[in-house]
Structure 1
Amino acid sequence: MNKIVFQGRWSHRLRSLATAGAVAVRVATRRLLGRRRVESWSFLFEYGTLYIRAQFNHAFRLKADISASRAYFDSFYSVFDTYPDVEVRASGVGEPRGHWFIPAVRHSDATLLHFHGGGYTFHAGVSRHFARILAHSLGVVVFAPDYRLTPEHPHPAQLEDGLAAYRYLLERGVAPRRLVLCGDSAGGHLALMTLSHLARAGLPTPLLTLGISPWTDIGRRGASQFGNDPYDLVQGYMTLQFAEWLKGGQDVSDAELSPIHQDYRGLGPIYLQAGGREILVDMIRDFAATVAEQGGPVRLDVWPDMNHEFHGYGDQLAESRAALDRLRAAIAWAAQPTRPFAADALTECDTLSLAARDAQRPPRHGTGGREQGAGRRGVAARPASSVPNS
């Protein structure tokens, strides 16, 4: 069941409605003339990309009043399926502020700690829908904290909130072997930064970390950051502004706040997904290569014609269905590395296969029943455990 949201100031609503109409006419006209943005894109995907981009661009024109900017972006949007099988519950007293997403059918006893995207500045209504998609498609309980936003709360507020949410789930009774870190876009940045800071916070490593179109370098990196502007719903200039808001005028380097410059040795498997048409794809490729060079188990799958966070189309798009299926398969694989999770034509980087082969080898004498290579890569088989009652 589709849902249309039309809310807030009438000036915002009417401008958004006019933008939607103008984009629809422009896309239809171009396609009639044989000028599709990307040949494989459907009308719906091309329209959605250009409409969201137009909304983001105008929201940035309002950045002097960040509340107005957020309100404008949320004034008119639609979601394709409300997933009524997923129960949504606000966090209670004593819990980090956020929401639980509990699917009727569970494929795993894992709990997903998911950080939403939005450049650390926006927490749009579509973010909760994205968490709903993850709960439904992955068949796991999802906790999505409402971490503090920039520019009101620059670094380290988001990292503090990420670590606090992780610590809370452990205290609640979620075992590390059943805890999956996840994030999309800036939320992917937060998931990877949280992962890199676990040891110094005295916290254990999760079962798996998932990065969905993650922002891996807050500086300038790769030709795609600006070269893919015509094909993406976010633009290269936005990443630089988000970075400035994250730093908040503090004397802190880009490297200090970028996952690509962190050490991921011994922190468990990382599975990344990206679209070949998104602005972040080159930095995501570089990040995957960096983790692989560190000896970490990492895999990157890239859908060539897709753009940023194409997963948001849920069941409505073949590529998003396939990507979500792979996220579910990655969780199953991490819980039992002997399960198949083979690389294919979409896979651009893969050291997870090495970890899986290690897990299948017989144990060496004197290793306590665990093969040394698998332990070094952090993906030894983990026993199942029950999810705490939500």
Structure 2
Amino acid sequence: MVEPLPQTPEGVELRHLRAFVAVAEELNFGRAAQRLYVTQPALSRTIRSLEKLVGCDLFHRNTRSVGLTPAGTALLDRTRDVLADLDSALTAARAAGGELSARMDRLWNPVEETFNGDLAPMRSAFELMHAEFPMPEGVTLEPVNTGGVPGIQLVPTDDTESTAIYVHGGGFMMGSAYGYRGMAGAVAQAGHTRVLVPEYRLAPEHPFPAALDDVLTAYRWLLAHGRQPEQIALVGDSTGGMLVLAMLARARDAGLPMPSATVLICPAVDFYAPEDDPPADVEQHMRFQNAYLAGRPATDPEANPMCADLTGLPPTLVQSSEFDGLGRNTHRLVARLRTAEVAVRHDSFAVDGHCFQIYWSFHPEAAEAVQQIGDFLQKPSPATS
């Protein structure tokens, strides 16, 4: 039986507990420091301070490894629960006050206000919004050219031999590799993997299949330059999720090996046909769709994964928002993947916002979603709910 202390030792702060959990989970002071955005010496001082306050060693340390002591093991699960409860309470308080939603709206509204106007201001507003998002500390950016398709690579400090191709959203008409450096960098850090963002061509100047061709070219390039299929994953947000699925189906039909995993972030797989129920913003929706399809039917299986054969695809994580109008077909997509015997995990978040994950730098649930993406990329999990 563990004898409880009469009260928490004075001086123990949240920073002590968060530092302890980071080191306990990483079992590496360097990685834990990077995760917490502090220097390694500062983290070591925080852990020594906590051990002094608790009155015992929490870690075994030597020049080669870090491990938990029995006292550290006893503290870890309880501390996780405390921090989880605190984060939930703070999230609820912020949501109740509207702070998070208001900040998201301030970033997104200038983009939405351009939707009924010319293409150039719309693209500029989209880039300006993404310029507000930081790149994680410790992640470096490198230019790359993948078989004629330019792009960027985000490389974390603890780079591995794996690479995730990140296919950005933007309704096929907006977005850029450089613009998405913040989101792609967050995935790189969370997944301890390189992230390649191809600069695929945009509609209406380059309609279907230009973007799809570019993503497939990037995938072929990785296979031809030393990456094994099990070292590659595909990640796509919004319409980028549609491009990922369409590319995988085309790669499979061409006899190419499948990657290790797929992540679909609020996938916008909802081409609209006249017989369907119209989406909320049908006029703007059709603008994006028509620019991309350029006369092809919305039911073309080469362009629309909801009409394609999805068998043989890799384990897939689907993340969605419960209040996302563009995600109206997410449950249908998940059902189709399961019917095709694809291992699917679907996580739905009670967040108001399409592709809320881009707000990872200040939104707790967005940060948690990105971390789950990173965990999945390291070890694709079997199907759940």
Q: Cα distance 1:41–1:159, how it changes in 2: closer, same or farther (>3 A)?
A: farther
Alpha-carbon distance, 1:52 to partner: 4.0
- Could you tell which deviates more after superposition, 250-259 or 161-170? 250-259
Alpha-carbon distance, 1:290 to partner: 1.1
* Structure 1 residues 11-68: Cα deviation after superposition (integer angstroms, max 9, x where no partner): xxxxxxxxxxxxxxxxxxxxxxxxxxx98366442223323443233322323xx233
Corresponding residue to 1:81 among 112, 134, 137: 134
The answer (yes or no) to whether the contact 1:60–1:69 under 8 Å persists in 2 is yes
* Structure 1 residues 271-321: Cα deviation after superposition (integer angstroms, max 9, x where no partner): 100111111332111100111122221121100234211111224222112
Counterpart amino acid of 1:56? V
Partner of 1:352: 383
The answer (yes or no) to whether the contact 2:156–2:188 under 8 Å persists in 1 is yes
Counterpart amino acid of 1:253? A
- Equivalent-residue separation in structure 2 for 1:76 and 1:109 (angstroms): 32
The answer (yes or no) to whether the contact 2:299–2:307 under 8 Å persists in 1 is no
- Equivalent-residue separation in structure 2 for 1:116 and 1:93 (angstroms): 16
* Structure 1 residues 194-251: Cα deviation after superposition (integer angstroms, max 9, x where no partner): 111112223111101110011112116987942xxxxxxxx55433221111112x24
- Equivalent-residue separation in structure 1 for 2:182 and 2:258 (angstroms): 28
What RMSD, in angstroms, separates the aligned Cα atoms of the two structures?
Answer: 2.7
Corresponding residue to 1:270 among 310, 316, 335: 316
Q: Say if 2:343 is the partner of 1:291.
A: no
Q: How does 1:147-166 map to 2 (within 5 A)?
A: 147-166=200-219
Corresponding residue to 1:120 among 166, 169, 172: 172
Partner of 2:150: 97
Identity %: 25
Corresponding residue to 1:282 among 311, 319, 328: 328
* Structure 1 residues 62-83: Cα deviation after superposition (integer angstroms, max 9, x where no partner): 23xx233322443566535332
Alpha-carbon distance, 1:121 to partner: 0.5
TM-score w.r.t. the length of structure 2 is 0.69
The answer (yes or no) to whether the contact 1:121–1:151 under 8 Å persists in 2 is yes
Partner of 1:175: 228
Q: Cα distance 1:270–1:319, how it changes in 2: closer, same or farther (>3 A)?
A: same
Counterpart amino acid of 2:306? I
Q: Say if 2:341 is the partner of 1:310.
A: no
- Equivalent-residue separation in structure 2 for 1:266 and 1:292 (angstroms): 11
Q: Cα distance 1:112–1:76, how it changes in 2: closer, same or farther (>3 A)?
A: closer
- Equivalent-residue separation in structure 2 for 1:51 and 1:223 (angstroms): 30
Alpha-carbon distance, 1:96 to partner: 2.2
- Could you tell which deviates more after superposition, 212-221 or 291-300? 212-221
Q: Say if 2:111 is the partner of 1:56.
A: yes
- Equivalent-residue separation in structure 2 for 1:93 and 1:218 (angstroms): 29
Is the partner of 1:264 in helix, strand or coil? coil
Alpha-carbon distance, 1:327 to partner: 1.1
Q: How does 1:1-390 map to 2 (within 5 A)?
A: 40=95, 43-63=98-118, 66-75=119-128, 79-92=132-145, 96-106=149-159, 109-123=161-175, 126-219=179-272, 225-226=279-280, 235=281, 237-248=283-294, 250-256=295-301, 257-334=303-380, 341=381, 352-353=383-384
- Equivalent-residue separation in structure 2 for 1:93 and 1:216 (angstroms): 26
Counterpart amino acid of 2:117? L
Alpha-carbon distance, 1:182 to partner: 0.9
Structure with higher RCO (Cα < 8 A, 6+ apart)? 1
Partner of 1:386: none
- Mind listing any 5+ residue stretches in structure 2 that lack a counterpart? 1-92
Is the partner of 2:374 in helix, strand or coil? helix
Q: Cα distance 1:223–1:318, how it changes in 2: closer, same or farther (>3 A)?
A: farther
Is the partner of 2:152 in helix, strand or coil? strand
TM-score w.r.t. the length of structure 1 is 0.68
Partner of 2:35: none
Counterpart amino acid of 1:317? H
Specify the structure having the higher radius of gyration (Cα).
2
- Equivalent-residue separation in structure 1 for 2:349 and 2:214 (angstroms): 31
- Equivalent-residue separation in structure 2 for 1:305 and 1:223 (angstroms): 24
The answer (yes or no) to whether the contact 1:224–1:278 under 8 Å persists in 2 is no
